[in-house]
Amino acid sequence: MKQAISMIHESVVVEEGAVIADDVVIGPFCYIGKDVVLACGCKLESNIILKGKLRVDENVKIFSFTTIGNENSDISIGKKTHVREFVQIGSQEDDNEIPKKIRIGDNNFIMGYVQILSGVELGEFCILTNAVRLYENVKCEERVIVGGMSTIEANNTLGTGVMIGGASYVNHDMPPFTLVEGNKANVKGLNVIGLRRRLENKDDIEDIKAIFKRILGNSVNKELAQEIAQTHENEYVKRFASFVASSNM
């Protein structure tokens, strides 16, 4: 059985020390820094810059004119993630600051012109649509969808299953399973379609609906949220209530 061979265009610059697995494909005019690791099955199109301590896991595809990392960055990108054109990840940092680690999970879809800054954590199966900006230390739990041209301010968390409408400005935490939109953005309701796709048990969805109204009815009731998080049996309700109780809402 023949061993797969990496296909690297002759115009590519690969610094000594970079680790490139067999069967990786790298298109023309790319630059691969000395601390970059590309796992098997990765595909890079043209005019891509990868710098700093960077681990790209299996079967990641990076599209043209994307820049990931700088000389001091520490970034990991999970398997089967797609990074579309003109994305910037951790490449905009101030040279005088020590950047925090950026962690991008598996199976994410990062669309064109997205910017991701220092300290961001992105869970699995998230979608960042065109021209989204995640400022420092933003955390997105799994299955978050952020609409195009939205901005998530620094030090905020988007709970699992959150869906952000386009052109929104988010300046505080957003609890799991919610629909969010506006400038400044607020919770508009539950992401019921997302819940139906995710949860087979209809009773789980009804439990979340009931608690949502009690905790986020006319105002945010953190004391009630804490009580529910400690006493309710439903794991999804617990997760929702616990998030609200500890959030910056």
Q: Confidence band (pLDDT; 50, 70, 90) for 4?
A: low
Q: Across residues 118-147, what is the average pLDDT?
A: 98
Average pLDDT across the chain, whole number: 95
Query: With b meaning 16 or more CB within 10 Å and e meaning fewer, what string describes 142-173?
Result: bbbbbbbebbbbeebbbbbbbbbbeebebeeb
What's the pLDDT score for residue 81? 98
For residue 126, is pLDDT > 80? yes
pLDDT on residue 1: 39
pLDDT, position 2: 44
pLDDT at 85: 98
> What's the whole-number mean pLDDT along residues 245-249?
96
Q: What is the pLDDT of residues 50-78, one digit of tens each?
A: 999 999 999 999 999 999 999 999 999 99
The Cα 83–Cα 60 span in angstroms is 8
Residue range 109-115: mean pLDDT, rounded: 98
- Give yes or no for residue 3 having a pLDDT over 60: no
* pLDDT, average across residues 89-95: 79
| pLDDT for residue 15 | 98
Q: What domains can be seen in the chain, in order of their start residue?
A: 7-191 (2.160.10.10), 196-246 (no CATH)
